[in-house]
Amino acid sequence: MKERLVVIGNGMASLRFLERLTERAPGRYDVTVVGAEPQAAYNRVLLSSLLGGEVDEAACAFRGLDWYEAHGIRLITGAPVTQVDRENALVMVGETHVLPFDKLVLAVGSLPIRLPKPGMDLPGIITFRDLADVAAIRKAAVTGAKAIVIGGGLLGLEAAVGLARLGVDTTLLHVMDRLMERQLDHHAAGLVKRAMESRGIRVLLKADTAHVEGDGRVERLVLSDGTVLPADLVVMSVGVRPNAVLAQGAGLEVGRGIKVDDRMTSSDPRIFALGECAEHRGMVYGLVEPAYDQAEVLSRHLVGEEAAYLGTSLATSLKVSGLPVFSAGEIEAPEHAETVVMSDPGLGLYRKLIIGDGKLLGAVFVGDIAEQGWCKTLIRTGEPIADHRDDLMFGRVHAPDSQSLAA
Amino acid sequence: MNAHVQAPAAAVKTTCPYCGVGCGVIATPDGAGGAGIAGDTEHPANFGRLCSKGSALGETLSLDNRLLHPVVDGVRSSWESALGTVAGGLRKVAEQYGPDSIAFYLSGQLLTEDYYVANKLAKGFLGTPHVDTNSRLCMSSAVAAHRRAFGSDTVPGCYEDLDEADLIVLVGSNTAWCHPILFRRMVDARAKRGTKLVVIDPRRTQTGEEADLFLGLKPGTDTALFSGLLVHLASAGAFDYRFVLDHTTGLDGALERARSIAPDIAATAAATGLSEADVGQFFTLFARTKRVVTGFSQGVNQSAQGTDKGNAIINCHLATGRIGQPGAGPLSLTGQPNAMGGREVGGLANMLAAHMHFAPEEVDRVRRFWSAPNIITGEGMKAVALFEAVERGRIKALWVMGTNPVVSMPRADAIREAIKGLDLYVVSEAVSDSDTAMTTGRKTVLLPAQAWGEKDGTVTNSERRISRQRSFLKSPGEARADWAIISDVAKRLGHGEAFAYPNAAAIFREHASLSAFENNGSRDFDIGAVSDISDTAYAGAAPVQWPLTKRGGKQGRQRLFADGQFFTFDKRARFVAVQPPALAQAVSADFPFVLNTGRVRDHWHTMTRTGKSQRLSAHRDVPFVEIHPDDATAMGVTHGGLATVSTAHGAAVLEVMVGEGMRRGDLFAAFHWSGATASEGRVGALARGIPDPVSGQPELKATPSAIAPAVYRSRGFLLTREQRSLPAGWWWARATIQGGSGLHFATQESSREVALMLRGMFQGLEIAEYADHARGRYRFAAYDGERLVACLALTPGDAKPGWESEKTYFAAPDLEPSARRALLSGRAETASAGPTVCACHGIGLDVITATIAAGAHSVEAVGAACKAGTNCGSCIPEIRKLLPQALARDAA
């Protein structure tokens, strides 16, 4: 009899893991996947496009139900797991399912944070995390509505862009003095702000939310400086925390997330974790790239190959409202480091390299991020960049085959 | 106000204001202050051709930098007040120190009529003989040589001789650059009849490059070469003894002297530094060819032995009887458009008027003709002596018209200082920012004069051809004709009757009458046939060569002296025994190089006109010094780097051009740059300018000098819409570019400081920049909306960053993103990856469509080929949309 592998969670990390596993060893395991959401895994990165009406739900889909069937994967959707019984090696879904396992993968993602401020439980205050959230926001975003997005991180920006595209009067609040402050320096953040504003979004920095008011439903938001902002809809996007509830209940070792080793194994050798719920070497990641790296490693491990996950270097490559943005490594020059900068605000173009001792320590790009892969490699390997300084700054001559160099 | 405004008008025939070729130009005013420019196909000087400078005349008509109102001691004034100040000042100086404390410094760019009136006022009415002109720096040695040989300042031949010669010898003349239209005639003659071209010049110029035989002789040894030639012609039996016996005198003495200088080919070769083979080839060619034209210009004239050089050349033509014949004769190539006209009216210190000098009967004749109360009786001071007299305080009042001596005179820095001591300093000028207009005396009056296109009168070119310069633009501001300004001062001095000219034609008639007055063939210059020309006929007058005697009618003469009749008392031409060649000053340990000065192809004089043209400013955009590669290595200077060139009289910082065309031990620098166009480019200040004892023309091409690297931290350029100034201490040179003004610069400041300064200079504009301060690199672009209004590049070290593509961007109405990026990178625009589609891997639209076209026909295949869409997948919908589009395009 085949080993029974149960995967809890059907997000992007989960699907990538299943794809790699079935590629490597088709039929090796008897696989069951249980997801809390009513749909099979979809592209969460496209939620803002979906919110803005750029794409429909179908475009967000990855694999049809036939794919799971064809690969012998039993998929159970709309089934939030309530308990992991390690002693009996069972996964319980309320009263409806009891799933025995030989090996268990936790890919349960993260949970959106709600600000602990008065009024945050009023109807009309919505997080931005899944398809249900998008549906709720779209329903509230009627013509003439006033929306406030709290949080100037990537997800908050995307939510604001999606709302603005729907024609909603949108204000973005961020408590820091610049947007995406962990990824961007002031100049790059300024360009992003400019891009947001060009979409009609009002951006308020150093905006500290005091509380939300309303009679049975959100009506206004009050800042700590006393400013009152009318609101029909508040989207909360102030961050996420790893979803470690089940693991905690099962008595697994948990820090900020579920602690795993380089093979993604938890404190119980039968149980693994990957994606945003996992804590590896003290790090929890909120991006898709590390999750995919982890999926790769775990799939190898589970088919008996040698594989180790050593962490993903911190880099961000994304498009904010259609504006490509990249940052990796240091974003401000440490002492004795050199900074090389190119900036054309009219083009929405910005590039900064931070160089120390002839090595690339960090890079922040806005507008054109073509050399980002190369930068990541150079930061990771620490190889001298003397001959590449200008190419990194101004770009290489582009041709499809040159992309292989950017790996 | 920055343009002449008037209704568009019909095409006007006029004459180019640059060199002495005197090309016919057709100007068609556009009604907006500009004009279309074309060559006049009917003008016999050029038959429709124009050189780079002439073609760009339309780019030089703007009113930027024009002097538009009278200015007294820096304050705008009325004409009434300014003229009163001039007249009062002249009267006071004359009363206090005598009239000969007053000097006039005129210009080969004045029209004949202006020249005539200035000369008349000074020499007949004020009573000062000190009237000289920038022509002194140009061809006065040729004039002196003509007078010694022919008894008159007569150019014997004409341009047609170039078409009909079998050998053209060019001595000290970069004709290809300085008289391009004549050079094209020479090249045409070579194509048509196989004319041989010999070029004699210490520098292998563009003209030398074109030569059949180039003789790169040692500076100042021309007389040795032509003495050797005279000796060779004698021994080769090439003399025309009949012509010599019947029409000349002095051959024996001249030949004896020639033998002592260069007795044979070997001695000639030794004296000139040429190979015996080359000397022999030249001598044989000259001896065997009857139709020889020897053209000569500043290399001969601007020398302390310029007159002897000219006579050494003329000796060879007299000895062979090759003068005044079709295709044969000496031909002085004049540098200025109206040097010849100035000579005709007598506007030089050693002439009185109309080719008359200071014989008592000549003085009396002119006095009677003018009814002059204060006729002068002897020569005045020539340019170099005149400015030395200003330095000594001997001259108290100086009136400069239409020239820039503070740039062009030798020891120009000393002259600028000397002017400060003048009681009265008057400048009649078209531009307000020339170094001469910016210099001040104790009392300084600037009088706005008409410029080319506004003024109306005549000029005479190198072949004695009188052509009309016609007005086709309205005078801007309060600018007036020079003759009218001078006449108004004369009236205020009580000479109203003698200066009551209603128009330029009236002046021309008086000038023509004087040329014929009691002449009867005794003077070469006689244009009596046009002394009664009507205003209408003058207005429409076609170009014509003098002499134009009443008897000879209105057809001019192409050539003189074929009949052997010269203007000496015995009608015989004179051979001249010339001095052995020597430079005025020898090089020394401190100043081991010989500094030669001259022109470039696309600039004229001190650039007050050509400097306005972006086309003309592109050819040489910084002041430079040329040096032989071996010398450059020895002195530690590099091609493109900066060097300080110094003499006992001044220093300049110039960009080094290393070239094989230079002789070892020689330097060459162009004299065009002034304080208005470069921080340290005033080459005139370096020349010692020891004058020729006969002509008074200063030696400008052989000053002992030194060269050393000039080290700056960085080089850069700045392009702006309006002219901008850079901080003191920076080296800079300004050039006009399309749509603005460009500065090349060098500085000791760090790139950080430069960046700070630049941002301060362009506050309120959108700034794009690239900064790599660790490597001293900085580039900058300022935009007003979409329009590029400034850009800068700074690189460390000696090399000048090129600005060609930036100039192109500056001329464009708006810029593509790739161009804006190239402005910051300083790299050529590269094929773009297109807008980013896959953010995770940074893959652009163009890369993805190319990948699809190359055979990736699914999202997965695209991802496999170029990684796009393989990370977060958020771009997959976009890629999916691209697939059918790209495939459809591919199939189409």
Q: What is the pLDDT of residues A171-223, one digit of tens each?
A: 999 999 999 998 999 999 999 999 999 999 999 999 999 999 999 999 999 99
Q: Which of A54, A289, A343 sits opposite B768 (nearest CB)?
A: A343
Instruction: For tokens 């592209």, name the residue.
Output: A43
Report chain A residues whose CB lies below 8 A from the CB of B833. Answer: 368, 370, 395, 398
Q: Which of B777, B784, B860, B874 to mutate to test the interface with A (most CBs of A within 10 A)?
A: B874
For β-strands B292-296 and B329-332, DSSP reports them as: parallel
Beta-strand (E) ranges in B51-192?
Answer: 71-72, 75-76, 102-106, 131-133, 167-171
3-state helix, strand, coil in chain B (%, to 5): 35, 20, 45
Q: Which of B783, B839, B854 sits opposite A400 (nearest CB)?
A: B854
pLDDT of residue B384: 96
A residues 68-107 closer than 8 Å to B (CB): none
User: Per the CB < 8 Å rule, is A340 touching B772?
Assistant: yes
B831 pLDDT band, cuts 50/70/90, is low
Per-residue pLDDT averaged across B64-93, rounded?
97
Q: What is the rounded distance in angstroms from the CA atom of residue B536 to the CA atom of residue B249?
A: 46
Buried b (16+ CB within 10 A) or exposed e, A175-214: beebbbbebbbebbbbbbbebbeeeebebebebebbebeb
pLDDT of residue B1: 41
Task: Give residues with Cβ within 8 angstroms of A72, minimum separation 6.
Answer: A26, A27, A30, A31
Q: For residue B146, what are its two tokens?
A: 């003509």
Q: What is the rounded distance in angstroms from the CA atom of residue B832 to the CA atom of residue B845?
A: 9
Closest CA to B598 of B82, B1, B19, B34: B19
Report chain A residues whose CB lies below 8 A from the CB of B824. Answer: 342, 344, 394
pLDDT over threshold 60, residue A406: no
Interface of chain B toward chain A, CB-CB under 8 angstroms = 766-775, 781, 783, 786, 817, 820-821, 824-825, 827, 830-833, 836, 839-844, 846-847, 850-851, 854, 865-867, 871-874, 876-877, 880
For β-strands B650-658 and B624-627, DSSP reports them as: parallel
pLDDT over threshold 50, residue A407: no
Closest CA to B105 of B402, B339, B373: B402
- Edge-first strand order for the sheet with B12-15 is B12-15, B24-29, B35-39
Per-residue pLDDT averaged across B615-620, rounded?
87
Question: Percent of chain B, pLDDT > 70?
Answer: 98
Report chain A residues whose CB lies below 8 A from the CB of B830. Answer: 395, 397-398
User: Per the CB < 8 Å rule, is B842 touching A62?
Assistant: no
Instruction: For tokens 């939510």, name the residue.
Output: A159
pLDDT of residue A399: 41
pLDDT over threshold 90, residue A403: no
Report chain B residues whose CB lies below 8 A from the CB of A67. Answer: none
pLDDT of residue A405: 34
Give the distance from CA B440 to its chain's centroid. Answer: 25
Whether B367 contacts B375, CB under 8 Å: yes
Whether B615 contacts B59, CB under 8 Å: yes
In sequence order, what are the beta bridge partners of B735?
A: B742
Residue of B nearest to A337 (CA): B774
A56 CB within 8 Å of a chain B CB = no
**pLDDT, mean over chain A:** 92
Asked if the bond preceding B44 is cis, omega within 30° of 0, the reply is no
- Edge-first strand order for the sheet with B544-545 is B457-460, B465-469, B544-545
Return the SS3 of B466. strand
pLDDT of residue A401: 40
Report chain B residues whose CB lies below 8 A from the CB of A398. Answer: 830-833, 844, 846-847
Q: How far apart are the first and last CA of chain A?
A: 41
Q: For residue B851, what are its two tokens?
A: 């990948």
Q: What is the pLDDT of residues A51-83, one digit of tens each?
A: 988 889 988 999 999 999 999 999 999 999 999
ipTM: 0.79
Q: For residue B673, what are its two tokens?
A: 């740059």
Q: What is the pLDDT of residues B483-499, one digit of tens each?
A: 999 999 999 999 999 99
Q: What is the rounded distance in angstroms from the CA atom of residue B506 to the CA atom of residue B532?
A: 9
A residues 207-236 closer than 8 Å to B (CB): none
User: Per the CB < 8 Å rule, is B817 touching A347?
Assistant: yes
User: Per the CB < 8 Å rule, is A394 touching B821?
Assistant: yes
The count of CB pairs under 8 A between chains A and B is 137
Q: What is the pLDDT of residues B337-387, one digit of tens each?
A: 999 999 999 999 999 999 999 999 999 999 999 999 999 999 999 999 999
A341 CB within 8 Å of a chain B CB = yes
User: Per the CB < 8 Å rule, is B766 touching A345?
Assistant: yes
Distance from CA of B748 to the nearest CA of A (A): 21
B9 pLDDT band, cuts 50/70/90, is confident
Buried b (16+ CB within 10 A) or exposed e, A380-390: eeeeebeebbb
Q: What is the pLDDT of residues B684-724, one digit of tens each?
A: 999 999 999 999 999 999 999 999 999 999 999 999 999 99
B79 pLDDT band, cuts 50/70/90, is very high
B122 pLDDT band, cuts 50/70/90, is very high
Q: Mean pLDDT check: name the lowest of A82-91, A388-397, B778-787.
A: A388-397
User: Per the CB < 8 Å rule, is A398 touching B774?
Assistant: no
B470 pLDDT band, cuts 50/70/90, is very high
Residue type for B120, please?
A: K
For β-strands A220-223 and A209-213, DSSP reports them as: antiparallel
Determine how many CB atoms are found less than 10 A away from the CB of residue B642.
Answer: 25
Per-residue pLDDT averaged across A339-343, rounded?
96
pLDDT over threshold 70, residue A351: yes
Q: For residue A164, what are its two tokens?
A: 């603005």
Distance from CA of B891 to the nearest CA of A (A): 20
In sequence order, what are the beta bridge partners of B457?
A: B469
Closest CA to A395 of A364, A351, A356: A351
Q: Which of B836, B847, B867 to mutate to test the interface with A (most CBs of A within 10 A)?
A: B836
pLDDT over threshold 90, residue B396: yes
**pLDDT, mean over chain B:** 94
